[in-house]
Amino acid sequence: MKAFILDRYEKKGALRLGDLPEPALGDGDVLVEVHAAGLNPLDAKIRDGAFKLVLPYRPPLVLGHDIAGTVVRVGPDVRGFKPGDEVYGRPRDGRIGGFAEFIAVDQADLALKPKGLSMAEAASIPLVGLTAWQALVEHAGLQKGQKVLIHAGSGGVGGVAIQLAKHLGATVATTTSTANVDLVRSLGADVIIDYKTQAFEKVLSGYDVVLNSLEGDTLEKSLDVLKPGGALISLSGPPDPEFARKQGLNWGLRLILGLLSSSIRGNAKRRGVAYAFLFMRANGQQLSQITALVEAGSLRPVVDRTYPFRALNEALAYLETGRAKGKVVVSLK
């Protein structure tokens, strides 16, 4: 099968298009012919070597955390999927590989593709949809009438998170650039902060939840927005000791990550708010719930550009400009 291969960690290095054997199928696995694959900043960060100490990868490997396609074969223990089914999912850590013609995925990581979506649209959803779900539903327990600030509302996670928060009945504020104001408004944002002309921490206050995906000093400034008892959830770090524990990291790495996050955790505690680093995980059951929201019209995919599979390196380069509105996808069919 054709696949884009990461031969070595290299910042902004090109992935190599080459041939690999079709993946082996475990008893609980589903072999999927990939029709479309979503791109995520996580792919670029793994390629650059940013996570080589905390994620279980060693080159050569195939990246790709979002897939949509058709079931080809299933293992003997698989229930709920059969050849010909249209599916989508985020393969679990250690078993990624969406940038290929075929991938073997644990059945627990898959869901049936939402009806009415193209494969490219479906491939744009799993990682960002699960991230939003795990942040707002599972972790924050966002309730009707609460207020949430979602940074970078025009990004992949932000666009889904705004829609999910509105579905849950929350008041939603978001930060974005002037060019994307209309987009985030169409997704349901109630309060829009143009970061080029406004300082969000001076405009907003009394919020229950902040979902941060930005680098720099945005994390510290977000503490000013929260009321006591609120929650600051960060996708961009720094990782906290709970993340290190869940990843099964050794005591040395746990100590390092604890030190890296000690400042923000301490500042949050002094203000009476909680800080958590979220690194989303694969979950087909949650993805099925997201499917229901898509089919009900409560969530819609936001796809900026779709590239042909052979232009994957070009697609990654565009993703890294930071100008994408929503997701960037490659199509294999």
Q: Is residue 3 within 8 Å of residue 62, measured between CB atoms?
A: yes
Omega cis (within 30) before 239: no
Question: What's the pLDDT score for residue 93?
Answer: 93
Tell me the pLDDT tens digit for each residue of 111-155: 999 999 999 999 999 999 999 999 999 999 999 999 999 999 999
Mean pLDDT of the chain: 95
**Measured between alpha carbons, how far is 227 from 212 in angstroms, rounded to an integer?**
16
Domain 127-277: CATH superfamily, name plus number: NAD(P)-binding Rossmann-like Domain (3.40.50.720)
Locate CATH 3.90.180.10 in the chain.
2-125+301-331
Q: What are phi and psi of 89, to 5 degrees?
A: 175, 175
Strands (E), the chain: 2-5, 16-19, 29-39, 66-74, 86-89, 102-106, 110-112, 147-150, 171-176, 191-194, 207-212, 226-234, 274-277, 303-308, 327-331
Q: Coil, strand or helix: which one is 161?
A: helix
Please report, rounded to a whole number, the percentage of residues in the chain having pLDDT higher than 70: 100
Contacts of 267 (CB under 8 A, 6+ apart): 220, 223
Q: Which residues pair with 148 in a beta bridge?
A: 172, 209
**Measured between alpha carbons, how far is 29 from 74 in angstroms, rounded to an integer?**
6
Answer whether residue 261 shows pLDDT above 90. Answer: no
* CATH code assigned to 2-125+301-331: 3.90.180.10
Q: What are phi and psi of 295, to 5 degrees?
A: -65, -25
Q: Is residue 307 within 8 Å of residue 328, measured between CB atoms?
A: yes
Tell me the pLDDT tens digit for each residue of 292-317: 999 999 999 999 999 999 999 999 99
Q: In this structure, what DSSP letter does residue 136 have?
A: I
* Structure confidence at residue 230 as a pLDDT band (50, 70, 90): very high
Question: What's the pLDDT score for residue 144?
Answer: 98
Contacts of 128 (CB under 8 A, 6+ apart): 40, 156, 157, 159, 160, 327
**Measured between alpha carbons, how far is 94 from 317 in angstroms, rounded to an integer?**
24
Tell me the pLDDT tens digit for each residue of 166-214: 999 999 999 999 999 999 999 999 999 999 899 999 999 999 999 999 9
Locate CATH 3.40.50.720 in the chain.
127-277
